[in-house]
């Protein structure tokens, strides 16, 4: 019996792992949340582990933390170029594999000096991941970038709360092996999501004629000013992660109360970030950044005199509202300023500015605190933030300050 023509034609079956046509923002949110949870498990206990368990001095501990931030900054730059000039998907997979490698090695080898060595490897993966996930975000947030990056800020803080809570709790029960084991699980989940959901076609240079293509991003004065403002903002934000804990204890408060401040921080952002985004939906990026920085800067002078827990709570709440305006506004503003073919490098620029601030912050604060220069520490932070805020405001107006003030008001 003869087969029909249809029976003779082989049936084409779809591949087992077909490439999704479009990257959904929900996958970026989930990856960002899990990634920040994994990163947040490490930083709260690193100082404790190095000093109390590996018996290193506070100076050596500070150097390790600073080197970790510098490594993350360099990795951010590298990831930006890889996103723009190589392959975004493969770059993202590599960043997660590096993070898994660092966590796995720290699980098995966590003595001195191999622990900080593998910590640097982990920071390479984290630094690359932060830039790459924001670069992906630029391409799914073209309709409303401010709302997208506001949601990213919520994911950041949820991840930080989850990572800090579980990281410290597991470290207390199962030591460093348990903490790094959970980190490995987090990064493996991220790798699975990346393999199935992030393999989409992204060609950052497709819409730019070859005659207009340049080899690298050119940094305008406004972009450099935004970078400087971002660096100083995160430098001063590091005070809360480093010197504020011993300062609060010296003022008669407890370490538990210090931990409550971070819980309040996360809760306020989770509850009010979307409300702030809707309230300021008609604001320019410049207005969000300038007002957010102004609120943030004004929280430092009261720290000179604050000596009660309720005062710290009030200051923290004001600081968080400034952060909710500044953080997503900055990222969205840079995404708007930077040409489309250089979005990876633009996100790397912001990530590097954040890492630079985080690397300098503990050393800067330590020098002042060791000498008892409390007034100088907080007032210098306030002054530099205000000066840079005004500079960004002026440069955004392209020199026409009067017209800029009218538009601002």
Query: Which comes out higher in pLDDT, residue 253 or 144?
Result: 253
Q: How far apart are CA 409 and CA 393, in angstroms?
A: 13
Q: Residue 272 and residue 278: Cα distance in Å, rounded?
A: 10
CATH for 219-409, options being 1.20.1250.20, 2.60.40.10, 3.30.230.70, 1.10.3680.10: 1.20.1250.20
Write out the DSSP string of 356-368: HHHHHHHHHHHHH
Contact 264, 313 (CB under 8 A): yes
Residue 19 above 70 pLDDT? Answer: no
Domain boundaries defined on the chain: 23-201, 219-409
> Is 1 or 390 the better-scoring residue by pLDDT?
390
Tokens 């950044």 found at: 289
Under a CB-based contact definition with an 8 Å cutoff, are residues 112 and 166 in contact? no
289 close to 226: Cβ distance less than 8 angstroms: yes
Higher pLDDT, 377 or 367: 377
d(CA 306, CA 295): 17
Q: Is the peptide bond before 334 cis (omega within 30 degrees of 0)?
A: no
Mean pLDDT, rounded, of the chain: 80
What pLDDT does 212 receive? 46
Residue 94, pLDDT above cutoff 50: yes
Q: Quick check: 40 and 158 in contact, CB under 8 A?
A: no
The residue-averaged pLDDT of 140-165 equals 76
pLDDT digits over 20-57, tens only?
Answer: 567 788 889 999 999 988 887 777 677 667 777 888 77
Which pLDDT score is estimated for 301? 95
Tell me if domain 23-201 and domain 219-409 are identical in fold: yes
Q: Are 188 and 93 in contact (CB under 8 A)?
A: no
The CATH homologous superfamily to which domain 23-201 belongs is MFS general substrate transporter like domains (1.20.1250.20)
pLDDT of 210 reads: 44
Position 207 pLDDT exceeds 50: no
Which of helix, strand or coil describes residue 148? helix
H or E element, residue 263 = helix 255-279
Only one residue has tokens 């309230």, namely 279
Least confident interval from 18-22, 135-139, 348-352: 18-22
If you compute the radius of gyration of the chain from its CA atoms, what whole number of angstroms results?
A: 23
Rama region for 308: left / alpha / beta (φ>0; ψ in -120 to 50; rest):
beta
Encode pLDDT of 165-179 as tens digits. 777 677 777 778 888
- Return the higher-pLDDT residue of 277 and 319: 319
Q: How does pLDDT run across 257-311, given as a tens digit for each residue?
A: 877 887 788 888 888 888 888 888 888 888 889 999 999 999 999 999 999 999 9
d(CA 279, CA 261): 25
- pLDDT > 90 fraction of the chain, expressed in percent and rounded: 25
Q: Quick one: what percent of the chain has pLDDT higher than 70?
A: 84
CA gap 134, 346 in Å, rounded: 10
Dist. CA 287–CA 293, nearest whole Å: 10
């Amino acid at each position: 019996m003869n087969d029909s023509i249809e029976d003779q034609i082989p049936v084409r079956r779809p591949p087992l792992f077909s490439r999704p046509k479009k990257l959904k923002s929900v996958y970026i949110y989930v990856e960002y949340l899990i990634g920040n949870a994994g990163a947040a498990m490490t930083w709260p206990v690193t100082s404790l582990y190095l000093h109390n368990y590996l018996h290193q001095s506070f100076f050596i501990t500070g150097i390790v933390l600073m080197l970790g931030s510098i490594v993350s900054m360099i990795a951010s730059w590298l990831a930006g170029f890889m996103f723009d000039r190589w392959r975004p998907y493969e770059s993202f997979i590599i960043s997660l594999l590096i993070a898994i490698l660092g966590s796995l090695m720290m699980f098995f080898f966590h003595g001195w000096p191999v622990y900080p060595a593998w910590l640097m490897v982990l920071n390479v993966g984290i630094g690359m991941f932060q830039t790459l996930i924001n670069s992906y975000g630029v391409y799914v947030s073209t309709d409303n970038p401010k709302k997208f990056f506001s949601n990213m800020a919520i994911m950041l803080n949820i991840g930080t709360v989850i990572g800090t809570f579980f990281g410290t709790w597991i470290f207390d029960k199962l030591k460093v092996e348990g903490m790094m084991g959970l980190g490995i699980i987090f990064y493996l989940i991220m790798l699975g999501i990346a393999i199935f959901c992030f393999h989409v076609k992204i060609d950052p240079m497709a819409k730019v004629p070859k005659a207009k293509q340049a080899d690298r991003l050119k940094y305008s004065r406004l972009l450099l000013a935004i970078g400087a403002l971002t660096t100083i903002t995160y430098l001063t934000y590091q005070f809360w992660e480093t010197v504020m804990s011993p300062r609060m204890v010296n003022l008669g408060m407890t370490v538990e109360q210090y931990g409550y401040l971070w819980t309040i921080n996360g809760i306020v952002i989770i509850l009010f970030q979307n409300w702030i985004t809707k309230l300021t939906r008609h604001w320019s990026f410049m207005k969000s950044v300038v007002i957010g920085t102004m609120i943030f800067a004004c929280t430092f002078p009261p720290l000179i005199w604050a000596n009660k827990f309720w005062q710290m709570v009030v200051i923290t709440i004001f600081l968080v509202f400034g952060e909710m305006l500044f953080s997503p506004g900055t990222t969205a503003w840079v995404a708007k300023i930077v040409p489309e073919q250089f979005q990876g490098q633009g996100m790397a620029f912001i990530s590097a500015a954040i890492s630079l601030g985080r690397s300098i912050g503990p050393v800067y604060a330590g020098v002042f605190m060791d000498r008892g220069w409390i007034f100088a520490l907080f007032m210098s932070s306030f002054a530099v933030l205000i000066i840079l805020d005004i500079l960004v405001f002026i440069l955004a107006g392209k020199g026409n300050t009067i017209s800029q003030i009218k538009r601002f008001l």
